[in-house]
């Protein structure tokens, strides 16, 4: 059988994979694809701006076409279908015969017919090429406008904002996300989007786009208002690509879309249509999950498989924008006759929840959630599985009363037919059979079932189903730290705390085996420090420290060390600068300003560390803990004291915060920043803890990361006063220290957290585990027992002994050699050492 498919998008590729699995090479397949690359993940398209490459986004296994023998013609547009001759012709002049034809042509972004819509910098958001064009245009722009305030429009606005543009959203309807949410939710959503720094303009009808005065374009609206912008993204809905179908005589809907029946067949019995180009029951589905179902149904029918039908799909959605939580389920507007509605509004906390139930109050029909989407998973499952509601359905959206369990039901209550991942149609039953087939973790499940590999919205629920099912089977989830301890870091922390263990010997003899290693020793050392805060160089503890911690300095490639005095908030007096300069000069150290707003002095020999530090300590400096897995810096911007835009004293606050948490030992390093206003010059949203001043107080962001895998921090709470903020940060940090794995930054810890941000908020803000006070107390203990490690070290003769390079000689390491570069020292290379060229005097 010759099968021809037109279009190679996400749904097309899903069809091919299903086909390959069921028919292998028994069929002869040709794919005609207009884009330049095989199918990629359009759902995650925005990740392109976060550094994902076209390859990262691909959803086509690289050897798929080789392995199947199917033929893929890229850069080839189909231009005609001859239904009588059963051929497809292409723009390259080919004529390809078929026995069965599958149309998977997707859709295109609708651009309103406004004069000027084709001006330079007027773009759409659909393909990788579109995003490249947007990135280039943004580089030349200050202001950007998105036309369309739907799901996609908001995603595009976030992207423009992240590209550094002053961003606006223009919407024709009176509210954002008009299809999915109601007025009440829309009002709140608007507030939240505006708080992100995006201008929102509803009820605006663009009349024309002309030359601007301050920007490249001016958008003139029907009501006489004008908005100036350098670039415009149209995101005003999609239109099915049905032009080929129409011209060949296939039936299309009055407003477009290739009409299909329940088996995805068009008006011609040998032609199928699937995905966003298909019209079923007068509906176009602009989501990938229904497309996947269609691919499955069509493939099944085409191969004469057992009877399967497409009977519509769930359109529930959760917005995947950071900082703005919005979800909509089923009949969000309560338009089902006789339906009953519950609404919960908390203006203070910016939460809006609406629940629509059947007239007898027994079934969920729909819901709108803004600001708190914790119950999305539960409500969706209740709706999809047609499960019976509790007596008082309102508890599903009301905040939990103190003491009462929050969850309406656990993963155990779900029926086997419950769809856990709607993108990939994976049910709880599928998960269970994968587990019975030997799968033990989430990565394994992803590989074998595709679960959580598309929008990712299901991963938290999937994780809890997995855990619950593994536990039911008595499977132990292995998280051993190393060969010496059959415990995770979190378990060790607990044991050490509960049993009051203070030495490694005691820990190994009670709970481990062997001598330990360079993994478990520093881990234990760090836990002891987080719990008991004794000096890390005290005798039995000293042997646990990694060399950086052991010498209270960072070892460099040649065995010398760097010295980083603490400069809280990056604020330093001229005298402080002079002192550091004088010391650097005296000991001939290389100096550099670090990325953490302080000064690093390089090239100190081991034996020099105590003398140099003595001078620094005498001059009032403290250890900067650059060597420890501990709190590093609290970066600040200049803030309201000097800056014309500042609304908060970011420097003063940064100093206070750095002084509070300095030296705190943790599973990995911790970085903070405080910005004085939303311009965010301190880059707080890339930190483990980020704080941004607002007109009303301080916004607290957590779990950001720069480094290898950057991650934006997420808003934990807004407009806090200083006291509440410190309380939340205390709880947050201690909770992280207690529960994270070894060398796990807060970002990765958060990504692995079941229940995600909502769970974290519940623990930190609502104190859902009832441990808030204990966490605060533990932190206060650490704050109260803080001492500068260097100050203590230079006053202890026993410790000082260790800084001698040789026990039996006063000589120094002759292999440490420096040469001059740009007026300072640097380590000599191997070749230079051999030739001893231009060696600097040290």
Partner 1 sequence: MSSTLVKVCKVHDIPVNLGVGALVKGEQVALFHLPTGEIYALGNFDPFSEANVLSRGLVGDLQGQKVVASPIYKHHFNLQTGECLEDAGVKIPAYAVVVQGDEVYLAV
The footprint of ligand SRM (CB under 6 A) covers 554, 556, 562, 564, 592, 594-596, 598, 600, 626, 632-633, 669, 671, 705-708, 745
Of 225 and 679, CB closest to ligand SF4: 679
Its sign, for the CA torsion 799, 800, 804, 806, is negative
Contacts of 572 (CB under 8 A, 6+ apart): none
Of 192 and 598, CB closest to ligand SRM: 598
Of 228 and 813, CB closest to partner 1: 813
Q: How far is the CB of 728 from ligand SF4 (least distance, A)?
A: 21
Contacts of 28 (CB under 8 A, 6+ apart): 1, 2, 3
Q: How far is the CB of 418 from ligand FAD (least distance, A)?
A: 19
Residue 198 and residue 204 in contact, taking contact as beta carbons nearer than 8 Å: no
Interaction of residue 350 with partner 1, rule CB under 8 A: no
Among 521, 671, 731, 761, binds partner 1 (CB under 8 A): 521
**Residue 643, annotated as binding a ligand:** yes
690 SS3 class: strand
HSE, CB side, 13 Å, CA atoms: give it for residue 330. Answer: 25
CA angle centred on 145, ends 128 and 329, rounded to 5°? 75
185 SS3 class: helix
Q: How far is the CB of 428 from ligand FES (least distance, A)?
A: 13
Q: How far is the CB of 690 from ligand SF4 (least distance, A)?
A: 12
Contacts of 830 (CB under 8 A, 6+ apart): none
Q: How far is the CB of 450 from ligand FES (least distance, A)?
A: 8
Among 518, 618, 754, 820, binds partner 1 (CB under 8 A): 518
Q: How far is the CB of 787 from ligand SRM (least distance, A)?
A: 20
Q: How far is the CB of 522 from partner 1 (least distance, A)?
A: 7
Residue 756 and residue 679 in contact, taking contact as beta carbons nearer than 8 Å: no
Interaction of residue 807 with partner 1, rule CB under 8 A: yes
Q: How far is the CB of 703 from ligand SRM (least distance, A)?
A: 11
- Helix 376-384 to helix 459-472 angle, to the nearest 10 degrees? 70
Q: How far is the CB of 673 from ligand SF4 (least distance, A)?
A: 10
Of 98 and 701, CB closest to ligand SF4: 701
Residues 530-559 that bind partner 1 (CB under 8 A): 539-540, 542-544, 546-548, 550-551, 555, 557-559
Of 198 and 541, CB closest to ligand SF4: 198
Interaction of residue 501 with ligand FES, rule CB under 6 A: no
- The tokens for 309 are 């039908």
Residue 640: Cβ within 10 Å count = 18
**Residue 517, annotated as binding a ligand:** no
Among 188, 423, 439, 634, binds ligand FES (CB under 6 A): 423
d(CA 438, CA 48): 35
Choose among ligand SF4, ligand FES, ligand SRM, none what residue 140 binds, the Cβ cut-off being 5 to 8 Å by kind.
none
- Helix 442-449 to helix 459-472 angle, to the nearest 10 degrees? 110
Phi/psi zone of residue 183: left (φ > 0), alpha (ψ -120 to 50 degrees), beta? alpha
Residues 32-61 that bind ligand FES (CB under 6 A): none
In what helix (H) or strand (E) does residue 103 lie, and over which residues does it extend? strand 100-103
Q: How far is the CB of 729 from ligand SF4 (least distance, A)?
A: 20
Residues 498-517 that bind partner 1 (CB under 8 A): 504-505, 514-517
Residue 184 and residue 158 in contact, taking contact as beta carbons nearer than 8 Å: no
**Cα(first)–Cα(last) distance of the chain, in Å?**
81
Residues 402-421 that bind ligand FES (CB under 6 A): 421
d(CA 164, CA 147): 18
Q: What are the start-end ranges of the H helices in 9-150?
A: 10-23, 54-57, 64-68, 128-139
406 SS3 class: coil
Site string for ligand SF4, 631-650 (x = CB under 6 A): ------xxx---x-xx---x
Interaction of residue 457 with ligand FES, rule CB under 6 A: yes
Residues that bind ligand FAD (CB under 6 A): 6-12, 32-35, 42-43, 45-46, 77-78, 104-107, 125-126, 152, 155, 241, 244, 275-276, 286-289, 291, 320, 455
Of 306 and 478, CB closest to partner 1: 478
Residues 668-697 that bind ligand SF4 (CB under 6 A): 675-677, 679-681
**Residue 468, annotated as binding a ligand:** no
Q: What are the start-end ranges of the H helices in 393-534?
A: 428-436, 442-449, 459-472, 489-499, 504-511, 520-532
645 SS3 class: coil
Contacts of 734 (CB under 8 A, 6+ apart): 775, 776, 778, 779
H helix and E strand count, the chain: 27, 38
Q: How far is the CB of 92 from ligand FAD (least distance, A)?
A: 11
Of 236 and 382, CB closest to ligand FES: 382
Interaction of residue 286 with ligand FES, rule CB under 6 A: no
Its sign, for the CA torsion 200, 206, 212, 216, is positive
- How far are the Cα atoms of 234, 264, 323, 375, 457 from residue 177, in angstroms, in the given order? 15, 29, 16, 20, 19
What's the Rg (C-alpha) of the chain? 31
**Annotation: binding site for [4Fe-4S] cluster:** 637, 643, 677, 681
Q: Which residues bind partner 1 (CB under 8 A)?
A: 483-484, 504-505, 514-518, 520-522, 539-540, 542-544, 546-548, 550-551, 555, 557-559, 606, 802, 804-809, 811, 813, 815, 830
Q: Which residues bind ligand FES (CB under 6 A)?
A: 421-424, 452-458
Q: Which residues bind ligand SF4 (CB under 6 A)?
A: 637-639, 643, 645-646, 650, 675-677, 679-681
**Annotation: binding site:** 637, 643, 677, 681
């Amino acid at each position: 059988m010759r099968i021809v498919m037109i279009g190679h998008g996400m749904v097309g590729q899903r069809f091919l994979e299903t086909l390959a699995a069921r028919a292998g090479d028994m069929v002869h397949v040709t794919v005609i694809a207009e884009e330049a690359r095989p199918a990629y993940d359009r759902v995650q398209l925005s990740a392109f701006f976060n550094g994902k490459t076209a390859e990262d986004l691909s959803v086509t296994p690289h050897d798929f076409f080789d392995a199947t023998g199917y033929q893929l013609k890229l850069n080839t547009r189909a231009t005609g279908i001859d239904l009588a001759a059963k051929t497809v012709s292409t723009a390259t002049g080919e004529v390809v015969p078929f026995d069965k034809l599958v149309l998977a042509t997707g859709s295109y972004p609708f651009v309103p017919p406004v004069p000027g819509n084709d001006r330079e910098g007027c773009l759409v958001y659909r393909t990788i090429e579109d995003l490249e064009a947007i990135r280039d245009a943004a580089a030349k722009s200050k202001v950007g406008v998105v036309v369309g305030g739907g799901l996609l429009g908001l995603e595009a606005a976030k992207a423009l904002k992240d590209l550094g543009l002053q961003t606006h959203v223009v919407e024709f309807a009176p509210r954002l996300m008009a299809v999915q949410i109601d007025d009440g939710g829309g009002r709140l959503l608007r507030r939240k989007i505006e708080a992100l720094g995006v201008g929102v303009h509803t009820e605006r009808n663009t009349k024309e786009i002309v030359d601007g005065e301050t920007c490249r374009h001016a958008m003139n609206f029907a009501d006489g208002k004008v908005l100036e912008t350098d670039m415009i993204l149209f995101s005003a809905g999609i239109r099915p690509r049905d032009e080929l179908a129409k011209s060949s005589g296939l039936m299309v809907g009055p407003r477009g879309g290739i009409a299909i029946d329940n088996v995805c067949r068009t008006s011609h019995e040998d032609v199928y249509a699937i995905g966003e180009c298909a019209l079923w029951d007068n509906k176009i589905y602009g989501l990938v999950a229904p497309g996947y179902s269609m691919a499955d149904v069509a493939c099944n029918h085409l191969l004469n498989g057992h009877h399967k039908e497409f009977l519509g799909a769930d359109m529930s959605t959760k917005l995947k924008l950071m900082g703005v939580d919005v979800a909509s389920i089923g009949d969000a507007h309560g338009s089902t006759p006789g339906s009953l509605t519950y609404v919960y509004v908390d203006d203070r906390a910016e939460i809006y929840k609406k629940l629509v139930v059947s007239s007898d109050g027994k079934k969920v029909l729909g819901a709108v959630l803004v600001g708190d989407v914790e119950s999305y998973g539960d409500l969706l499952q209740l709706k999809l599985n047609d499960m019976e509601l509790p007596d008082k359905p309102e508890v599903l959206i009301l905040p939990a009363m103190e003491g009462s369990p929050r969850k309406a039901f656990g993963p155990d209550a779900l029926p086997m037919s419950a769809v856990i991942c709607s993108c990939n149609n994976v049910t709880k039953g599928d998960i269970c059979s994968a587990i019975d087939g030997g799968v033990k973790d989430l990565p394994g499940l992803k590989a074998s079932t595709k679960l959580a590999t598309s929008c990712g919205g299901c991963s938290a629920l999937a994780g809890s189903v997995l855990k619950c099912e593994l536990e039911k089977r008595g499977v132990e989830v292995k998280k051993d730290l190393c060969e010496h301890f059959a415990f995770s870091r979190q378990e060790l922390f607990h044991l050490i705390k509960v049993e009051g263990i203070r030495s490694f010997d005691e820990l190994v003899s009670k709970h481990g085996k062997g001598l330990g290693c360079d993994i478990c020793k520093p881990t234990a050392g760090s836990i002891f420090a987080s719990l008991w805060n004794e000096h890390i160089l005290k005798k039995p503890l000293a042997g646990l420290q990694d060399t950086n911690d052991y010498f209270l300095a960072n070892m460099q490639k040649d065995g010398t060390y760097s010295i980083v005095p603490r400069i809280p908030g990056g604020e330093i007096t001229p005298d402080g600068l002079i002192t550091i300069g004088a010391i650097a000069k005296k000991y001939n150290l290389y100096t550099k300003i670090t990325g953490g707003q302080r000064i690093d002095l390089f090239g100190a020999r081991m034996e020099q560390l105590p003398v140099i530090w003595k001078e620094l300590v005498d001059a009032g400096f403290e250890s900067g803990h650059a060597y420890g897995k501990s709190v590093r810096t609290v970066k600040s911007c200049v803030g309201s004291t000097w800056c014309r835009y500042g609304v908060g004293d970011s420097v003063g606050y940064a100093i206070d915060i750095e002084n509070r948490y300095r030296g705190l030992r943790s599973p990995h390093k911790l970085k903070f920043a405080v910005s004085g206003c939303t311009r965010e010059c301190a880059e707080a949203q890339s930190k483990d803890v980020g704080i941004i001043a607002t007109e009303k107080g301080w916004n607290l962001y957590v779990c950001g990361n720069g480094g290898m895998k950057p991650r934006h921090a997420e808003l934990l709470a807004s407009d806090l006063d200083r006291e509440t903020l410190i309380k939340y940060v205390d709880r947050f940090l201690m909770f992280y220290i207690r529960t994270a794995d070894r060398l796990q930054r807060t970002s990765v810890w958060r990504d692995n957290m079941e229940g995600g941000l909502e769970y974290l908020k519940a623990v930190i803000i609502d104190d859902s585990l009832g441990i808030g006070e204990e966490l605060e107390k533990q932190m206060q203990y650490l704050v109260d027992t803080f001492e500068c490690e260097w100050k203590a070290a230079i006053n202890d003769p026993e410790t000082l002994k260790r800084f001698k390079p040789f026990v039996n000689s006063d000589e120094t390491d002759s292999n440490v050699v420096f040469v001059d570069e740009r007026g300072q020292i640097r380590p000599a290379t191997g070749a230079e050492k051999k030739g001893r060229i231009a060696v600097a005097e040290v």
